[in-house]
Structure formats: structure tokens, C-alpha cells
Amino acid sequence: MATNPPKDKYFGVWLIFFMLGLGTLLPWNFFMTATTYFTSRLKESSSHDVSANQTEAAGDHRSVLEAKFNNVMTLCAMVPLLLCTCLNSLLHSLIPQRLRVMGSLLIIMFIFIVTTILVKVPLEPLPFFSVTMVKIIIINSFGAVLQGSLFGMAGLLPASYTTPIMSGQGLAGTFAASAMICAITSGSEIQAAAFGYFITACVVIFLSILSYILLPKLEFFQFYQERSDNEQNSISLMSSEIKDSAADQRGQHNISMIKIFKKIWVLALSVCFTFTVTIGTFPAITADTKSTLAGGGSWDLYFIPVSCFLLFNLCDWSGRSLTAICMWPGKDSLILPVSIVCRLVFVPLFMMCNVQPRFHLPVFFDHDSFFIIFMILFAFSNGYLASLCMCYGPKNVLPHEAETAGAIMAFFLSLGLALGAAFSFLFRSLV
């Protein structure tokens, strides 16, 4: 085998990792974007039993299932995401990489095919609600395995190859936000828009499957995969000469996980804290912000889709993508974790924007421009700093430990998402 790595011809491997990153988060983003469609399906038969299905909150005439949809959806997404990312971090060495990635993509695609078909199938609200939550659990469970496996694979390559995964994930949110705005502009029916969403998701996931099939055939990827396999075989041979029993080998594996975490714990906690702050604020607080421009007209309709969702995803994507050409500060610099902790200031800043309804804090930043400036800085810093952490993590360990380090980093990313979802209830209640 050559000692010098071959070139990534036509950026083939980079583009494949970008496509796989897009396929990782696009399913969940399309489910979030289509919440209007899902809740509309929960209204259809509510008139049959109004007294049993109406919430009693003042001014809230939604059915119980409709009112609870977003909360239950978040719970059904974040808990399986965290649990399956944890399992993937612990068990990834026991299940072949190809089975984890290809199996996850095929199952996610199957779920979206079913979702697309169900757009045209009439169902009562309760069965529809139950089926939707089961689909969300399955998508996020296998999405977690796919995400952890991708970061593990990227850990075998140069540090810059984590960037296309992060960038692809950022584009998924931008794509979904753009679809939301197009639906508002076109005035198309909810079901027709949802059908288009889910067909598009099926096509993207299918392209991700084709990309992954092509990946092992590329010389650049083969070089790093073979180098990792050779190093792992050398480690295994040395270990077998020293320790012969299976129990000792299992103990060594557990110890190696601890040793790897000790090398990357600062970066792991940093990416966790980054997403705790981000998800704790966005969209729980930011999506309840109202425009303060008098007589806003159509601007009132577009304010949150544009200033909150589209702007966040564009700036987040820009921050993630910037790490392809600039990786500052360095992996051992204190500036990185300090910058991440400083992002905590965005929580009170958004709280003091025109978030409605509010019960405790005054509105201090009462112009739309403040909210937009905060959103740009908030989203860009999230994408850039999180991407830096994910790039540096696998490079703080030995090459044969890189895949495990990538899986550990993916777990702490998911832990940050789950913690952020939990803190979002607290942050919103303080406004």
C-alpha cells in the first residue's frame, strides 16, 4: 500500500459525505416543517366528540391531540435519538459499518414511502397520531445510528472531512425552511404540499443510498479504510500475545473507551453545551417572537419563517461550511471552549426580545433588527463552533481510535440536543 494518500478526485468523497449528511437530518427537518399538515389531520374528526377532545385553555380551541402534538413529537424524537446514539457508541465495533449505514438508510426511506402513501389514506385522528409518533421514533432511532456511523467514518479521514457532514446537515434545515416559505407563497393546499415534501425526501434518501454504495469504490476512501484496518489488526495481534482470555479482551475494550473519552472530553462537553444552548432557545423562544413593526401586513406572516427559521439555517450552514477553509482556534486552544460558554448570553438576549405571550421579563429589544442581528450571530456561531468540535474530536486520538472517538462525539452532540429540549421548557417559562 502506498505511503502517501491519493487525491480525492473531483472531491468525490467530500461530496458523498455531504450527501450523506444531508440525508441524515433531512427526514427529521421535513417532519418538523410539515407539522401544519400533521396537526390538520388531527382536526378532521374532532367535531364528532367536541366535549372530549377540546382543550380548556382560554382561547385555545384545538383538540387534545393537536395541542399536544409538538411536545409529544419532540419527546418521541429526542429520547430515541439519545438512546440509540449511546448504543451506537458502545456497540459500533460489533456491527459492521455497512450494515449500520445501509440498513438505517433503507429503513428511513421505507418510513417516508409509507408517510407519502398515508397522505392519501384517510385515518381517524387517534390512529393517525399514534402511527405518526411511531414513525418519528423509528426515523430518529435509525437516524442516530446513521449519524454516529458517519462521524465515525469521517474520523478515519483527514479532519476536514467532518465538515461536509456538518454542512450537509445544515443544508437540510435550510431546504426545509425554504420549502415552508414556498408553501406560504404559493397558497397550495396543505396535503398537496406535504405530498411534495415527502416525495422530495424519498428522492434525497435514495440519492444518499446510491452515494454510499459508490463510496467504497473510491481510491481515496479505500486508502484510509485499509490503513485503519491494518492498524487495528496490529493492535489486536499485540493484544492477543499479552492477553489470551476473552474476558480480558472485553475489559481492554471498555478501558479503551474510557481512555479515548479522557482525550476528547473537553471537545465532547463543548459540542454538548453548544447544542444545549441552541436547542434550549431555538425554536422554543425564538419562534414565539412577534414583529414590532406597525402595520406589518405580509411581513407579519413571513417574519418567523424568514427571520427565525430560514435565517437560522442559512447562517448555521454558513458557519458549518466555513470550517472547510478556516479552522481557528486550534483544537488545544482555550479560546474554543470559552467562546462556546460565552454563547450562553444569547438566552437572555432572545428572552428580552418581543416574545409573546410573556409573564415575567420586560421587552428590552423592541425592534425587529435586534432579533435579526442576534439570530445571525447565534446561528453562525452554532454552526462554526460545533463543526470545529466535531472535526477536532477524532484527531485528538490515535488513528485506530478515530472511529470510536467520532461515535463518542456524536453521542455528546445528541446529548446536547436532548438537554436543550429539556431546558427549553424552563427557559420559555421564565420569559
C-alpha pair distances (Å), 300 with each of 59, 159, 306, 335, 338? 20, 43, 10, 39, 37
Helix 219-242 / helix 246-281 crossing angle, nearest 10 deg: 130
What per-residue confidence (pLDDT) applies to 294? 62
Render pLDDT for 45-86 as a digit per residue (tens, 0 to 9): 544 444 444 444 444 455 778 767 766 777 788 888 888 888
The pLDDT, as a whole number, for residue 347 is: 96
Q: What is the pLDDT along the chain (431 residues), one digit of tens a residue?
A: 456 778 888 889 999 999 999 988 888 787 776 777 887 888 755 444 444 444 444 444 557 787 677 667 777 888 888 888 888 777 777 888 889 999 999 999 999 899 989 988 888 888 999 999 999 999 999 998 898 888 888 888 887 888 898 888 888 888 878 877 776 677 667 777 777 778 888 888 999 999 999 998 999 998 888 876 676 666 555 555 554 544 554 445 444 778 899 999 999 999 999 999 998 898 888 888 888 886 656 777 788 888 988 899 899 999 988 988 888 898 889 999 999 999 999 999 999 999 888 888 999 998 899 999 999 999 999 999 999 999 898 888 887 788 788 888 888 988 998 898 888 888 888 98
Q: Are 360 and 431 in contact (CB under 8 A)?
A: yes
Q: Cis (ω within 30 of 0) for the bond into 357?
A: yes
Q: Which of 331, 311, 334 has its CA nearest to residue 383?
A: 311
Q: Which residues contact 24 (CB under 8 A, 6 or more apart)?
A: 143, 146, 147, 150, 165, 168, 169, 172
Give the C-alpha separation, 346 to 223, whole Å: 43
| Residue partners of 295: CB distance under 8 A and separation at least 6 | none
Check residue 55 and give its pLDDT: 44
Q: What secondary structure letter does DSSP report for 294?
A: T
Is CATH 1.20.1250.20 the right assignment for the domain spanning 14-44+63-216+256-430?
yes
* The one-letter amino acid at 271: V
Which DSSP string do the residues of 211-241 spell out, in sequence order? HHHHGGGSHHHHHHHHHHHHHHHHHHHHHHH
Rounded Cα distance, 210 and 222, in Å: 17
Q: According to the model, what pLDDT value does residue 56 have?
A: 44
Q: Where are the domains of the chain?
A: 14-44+63-216+256-430
Residue 140, amino acid: N
| Residues near 387 by beta carbon (within 8 Å), at least 6 away in sequence | 162, 163, 166, 167, 319, 320, 322, 323
- Asked whether the beta carbons of 166 and 386 are under 8 A apart, the reply is yes
Express each pLDDT in 160-208 by its tens digit: 888 898 888 888 888 878 877 776 677 667 777 777 778 888 888 999 9
